Amino acid sequence: MHCTVVERELELKLVLSPERSVPVPARLSYRTDDPYAVHISFHINSEQPVDWTFARELLVEGVFRPCGDGDVRVWPTKANGRSVVLMALSSPDGEALLEAPTTLVSAWLERTLRMVPPGSEAEQLGLDDALHQLLAR
């Protein structure tokens, strides 16, 4: 099966406190062979990038309204007069609050949604065909 990848390099901010944040180079990626997920890789003082994977739907919704609970929470806000999306990530290894420019995230998400419209993810995986073949036996 053919896989298409939509990537976007951008600079996130790792929010350390209300007054302090540090720039973090990051890459957003979306793969048509994993149509329900988005992947974010970023470098924080480490050899290996830190990778997070979560539901694309969560990021799409989080651009407009607070959503998510548990390990990944996403919500829109303003920072210095600019629209930003905040992502709170928590794992056994620690927690991070990341800030991304809404315009960049939205434009990238739009590309993923044009490629695989919401509701058509299962077709990308060929689940219907596989199920049909299974039941036809």
Over residues 19-47, the pLDDT tens digits come to 899 999 999 999 999 999 999 998 877 78
| 37-42 sheet: strands from edge to edge | 50-55, 37-42, 20-31, 5-17, 94-101, 82-91, 72-79
User: Which residue numbers in the chain have pLDDT < 50?
Assistant: none
Confidence (pLDDT) at 1: 57
How far is 48 from 3, CA to CA, in rounded Å? Answer: 25
Hey, what are 57's tokens? 């739907």
Q: Which domains does the chain have, with CATH numbers?
A: 5-136 (2.30.31.20)
Confidence (pLDDT) at 128: 63
How far is 136 from 121, CA to CA, in rounded Å? Answer: 23
Hey, what are 17's tokens? 């406190």
